């Protein structure tokens, strides 16, 4: 087990990258603490798999270093890094039995059969596959195959990090949940650092203690699921996480106050730095409520999503979503919207520009 440090990491698939856009990864500096459960979350093509392959050693980065416990491993091949990786499609050795599959990484490293047997039995018990050990691996169901490929990673007692590259993609929905909780349980038992790559926010938020959100080859925010939800550092995070995503409203800033659709909007606190460039208000639908007065809006759509109702409104040429409980207004009716002040942020060129006020935010209408 080890602490993993990525230092000034850049990677391009081109041999002579010219501009920033030629890089699949743009300058990544990250520390993964020992034993942490991390998720790497981002849309397809954001560079998360590239980053994973660099950590595992399947790719050598164009620039920068990877350190395991302070030791430079940038040039080491995967088998010398003591890492484990679970792929999108379960990789199993078809002709071997489940037992031989699990024993494979140990036998390749020349461990004696007694150690192999003891480790395989322990892992099989942990994964609840003891009954299948004598079976040919080819005949297993996809979720069991994925368990076996996980097991091949965990069977080595000294793995530095276990990485999961969208491991639940091919698993049936009703088994996804089971396997996900199994993963969480495994993390608590083996205490290895785990990195879980996904584009599914539910998977990321339920698995990880810390979520790293990536977009276009950059890390946009690192935080706990709660932090990502409550204080997105970038409008992308606000939009990507949450369902529906954060409301992003283009606004003007006049002498330190935000103005949207001709109305001043109270922000959580003072604006940091110069509010120049593209200014936007960000507020989650969960913190928008229907009120007697406030921002005038027209209801354009009402959708019932079970416990809540999403009311889609139009105000000042922008779409504003509100999540409400109880009775919802009719489509087409005129309403007023209130924003919870301590949850109303200002973004400049996409990045968070407000700091929370020292006093606790009051519930106030704009």
Binding site for other proteins (CB under 8 A): 53, 56, 58, 77-79, 83-85, 87-89, 91, 93-96, 104-105, 108-109, 136, 139, 149, 152-153
Q: How far is the CB of 10 from other proteins (least distance, A)?
A: 22
- Beta bridge partners of residue 249, listed in sequence order: 281
DSSP letter at 34 equals T
Concatenating the DSSP letter of every residue in 339-354 gives: E-GGG-EEEETTEE-B
Nearer to other proteins, 83 or 322 (CB): 83
Nearer to other proteins, 109 or 178 (CB): 109
Question: How far is the C-alpha of 286 from the C-alpha of 295, rounded, in Å?
Answer: 16
Concatenating the DSSP letter of every residue in 126-149 gives: HHT-GGGTTSBGGGS-HHHHHHHH
Q: How far is the CB of 123 from other proteins (least distance, A)?
A: 14
Structure tokens at 135: 């079976």
Q: How far is the CB of 351 from other proteins (least distance, A)?
A: 36
Nearer to other proteins, 146 or 321 (CB): 146
Long-range pairs for 87-92: beta carbons < 8 A, 24 or more residues apart = 87/149, 87/165, 87/167, 88/165, 88/166, 88/167, 88/169, 88/170, 89/169, 89/170, 90/142, 90/145, 90/146, 90/148, 90/149, 90/170, 91/149, 92/137, 92/138, 92/140, 92/145, 92/148, 92/149
Q: How far is the CB of 153 from other proteins (least distance, A)?
A: 8
Nearer to other proteins, 87 or 351 (CB): 87
Q: How far is the CB of 213 from other proteins (least distance, A)?
A: 25
Q: How far is the CB of 93 from other proteins (least distance, A)?
A: 5
Question: How far is the C-alpha of 238 from the C-alpha of 272, rounded, in Å?
Answer: 19
Count other C-beta atoms under 10 Å from residue 336's C-beta: 17
Nearer to other proteins, 161 or 328 (CB): 161
Nearer to other proteins, 84 or 366 (CB): 84
């Amino acid at each position: 087990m080890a602490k993993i440090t990525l230092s000034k990491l850049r990677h391009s698939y081109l041999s002579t990258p010219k501009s920033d856009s030629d890089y699949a990864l743009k300058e990544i500096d990250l520390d993964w603490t020992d034993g942490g459960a991390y998720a790497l979350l981002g849309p397809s093509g954001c560079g998360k798999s590239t980053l994973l392959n660099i950590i595992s050693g399947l790719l050598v980065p164009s620039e920068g270093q990877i350190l395991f416990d302070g030791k430079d491993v940038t040039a080491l091949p995967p088998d010398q890094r003591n890492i484990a990786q679970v792929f999108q499609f379960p990789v199993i050795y078809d002709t071997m039995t489940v037992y031989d599959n699990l024993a494979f990484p140990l036998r390749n490293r020349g461990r004696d059969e007694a150690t192999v047997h003891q480790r395989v039995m322990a892992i099989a018990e942990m994964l609840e596959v003891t009954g299948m050990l004598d079976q040919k691996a080819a005949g297993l169901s996809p979720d069991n195959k994925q368990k076996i490929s996980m097991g091949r990673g965990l069977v080595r007692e000294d793995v530095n990090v276990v990485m999961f590259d969208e491991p639940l993609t091919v698993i049936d929905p009703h088994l996804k949940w089971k396997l996900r909780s199994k993963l969480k349980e495994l993390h608590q038992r083996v205490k290895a650092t785990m990195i879980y790559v996904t584009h599914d926010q539910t998977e990321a938020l339920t698995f990880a203690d810390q979520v790293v959100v990536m977009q276009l080859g950059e890390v946009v925010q690192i935080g706990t699921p709660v932090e990502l939800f409550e204080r997105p550092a970038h409008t992308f995070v606000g939009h990507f996480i949450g369902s529906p995503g954060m409301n992003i409203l283009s606004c003007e800033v006049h002498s330190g106050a935000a103005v949207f659709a001709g109305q001043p909007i109270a922000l959580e606190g003072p604006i940091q730095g110069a509010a120049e460039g593209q200014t936007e208000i960000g507020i989650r639908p969960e913190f928008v409520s229907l009120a007697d007065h406030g921002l005038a809006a027209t209801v354009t759509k009402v959708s019932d999503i079970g416990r809540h109702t999403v009311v889609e409104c139009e105000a000042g040429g922008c779409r504003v979503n509100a999540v409400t409980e109880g009775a919802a207004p009719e489509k087409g009716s005129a309403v007023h919207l209130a924003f919870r002040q301590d949850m109303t942020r200002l973004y400049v060129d996409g990045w968070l520009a407000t700091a929370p006020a020292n006093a606790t935010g009051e519930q106030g209408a704009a």
